[in-house]
Amino acid sequence: EAVARLPFSESPPPRAARQPVRHRQRFILMGAVRSRSLLILAQLAASTAAALTTPGRLVLLRHGESAWNAAGRFTGWEDVPLTPRGEEEARTAAELLLTEAGDVRIDTVYTSVLGRALRTAGLCVEALRRNGRPPPPILPTWRLNERHYGMLQGLDKRDTLEKWPDPAALREWRLSFAGRPPPMAADHPFYSRSPERLAALRAANADGEPLRDEDVPLTESIADCVSRVRPFWENELLPALLDGSNCLVVGHANGLRALVACVQQNVDDESLPSLGLPNGLPLIYELEPDGSVRYPSEGRCYVPPLQAYYLGDACLVFNALDQDRSGALSRDELLDVCRASFDSIDGDGDGQVAAEELAAACGDELLRDADTNGDGSSSREHAAAGYGPSQGRLGAPHRTYVPRRLVNFLEYMAWWNRQKRGAAGTSLKSFDQ
């Protein structure tokens, strides 16, 4: 309107008027100025509208417990079902979204093409529908699949940790950013490029980005997962979030860690392989209009180094134990867990727990039970194993993961769930006071 009122906005006279040349040049110049002004105003309006659009929230959810989670096996791209407990975890996650995520409506659900993630996504959508929420579409993509574990796929984790002939190499494959297990051979019992497995993957991925044979890996590092997930983040997920859509991503531990590396740029390579993403526990990112992470939100629970908050009480309990706010529990912090269940570590049966009994159970026995990723060796042992520098996400040298006697949030949740189920052979019955 302001431009329309400017003196040069009037229309030029008809050709019959035959204005002098200088007048025609004046009208041409005025028309160009007016067009340029209108273009600037249109661009300003578009940028203002974009700035006024509140980005949607990103909800990350690891699938419920699978059959191989329960058995302690390397799963990767193998398609295994949820356990009954895993199905219940999916329903509980949906309940947390309904009761603790405020008025968040889920507009779109993205998931991998593996059955355990698809089933978890389906159970969440069904719970939303039963509670009167509009059911969002479920969009599978192979880019959200779990990290491929190569020749380790299908092996028992604890048995492999104890018997592998080169423990240092095994830890490097599992706990570093760039470590990659040996590739799966064609005679592997769970060969990922077998005709039947390729057909099943393509059937689940029918409406997504086409899946070529060479897109199915035979081994991967966390770095490879980041490279696989990044195009999905940049081309589909981030634009949807910035447009105001709330998106639920149902995936897998390492696939979601790779997505975290895209969302939160300040997570270093050393921390990435052990980020806490327990089964069935929603994790929510809030974004600024420029795509950066909004952090922190008042009244929400965070576990460092993540700048996304967890729903539910587990995060609050963990942080109460994590006195130094490191994001992992040390030997000393685990003493609190033992004291809360001292009767179960009364080794001599005298009704009391000696300091030696307490220290022993909270040291070797507890860490052995809770430390499922095998990083409970000392730094000296780690150095002797020959660890050295490797390349970071941006090509810069970085330190590989240095094992410490720490139990991260993921291990804590897995251990605590075993306590609640009364797993055989555990040293602690419960610390639920």
Q: Write out the binding residues for substrate.
A: 62-69, 75-76, 116, 146-149, 157
Token pair in block for residue 321: 């134990």
Catalytic residue (choose from 89, 146, 236, 286) = 146
Query: Has 288 been annotated as catalytic?
Result: no
The span from the CA of 146 to the CA of 75, in Å, is 8
Token pair in block for residue 315: 């995060």
Residues 74/153, Cβ–Cβ less than 8 Å: yes
Paired residues of 279 in beta bridges: 62
The span from the CA of 304 to the CA of 325, in Å, is 7
**Residue found by looking up tokens 């069904």 in the block:** 126
Q: In whole angstroms, how large is the CA radius of gyration of the chain?
A: 28
The span from the CA of 425 to the CA of 416, in Å, is 14
DSSP string, 205-217: TTTSS---GGGS-
Binding site feature residues:
62-69, 75-76, 116, 146-149, 157
Q: What is the DSSP letter of 361?
A: I
Catalytic residue (choose from 1, 10, 23, 63) = 63
Could you list the beta-strand ranges (E) of 339-396.
390-391
Token pair in block for residue 419: 């306590």
- Closest by Cα among 314, 324, 325, 320 to 419: 314
Residues 122/138, Cβ–Cβ less than 8 Å: yes
Residues 62/251, Cβ–Cβ less than 8 Å: yes
Q: How many CB atoms lie within 10 A of CB 181?
A: 23
Q: What is the DSSP letter of 365?
A: I
Query: Has 214 been annotated as catalytic?
Result: no
The span from the CA of 338 to the CA of 427, in Å, is 9
Active site residues: 63, 146
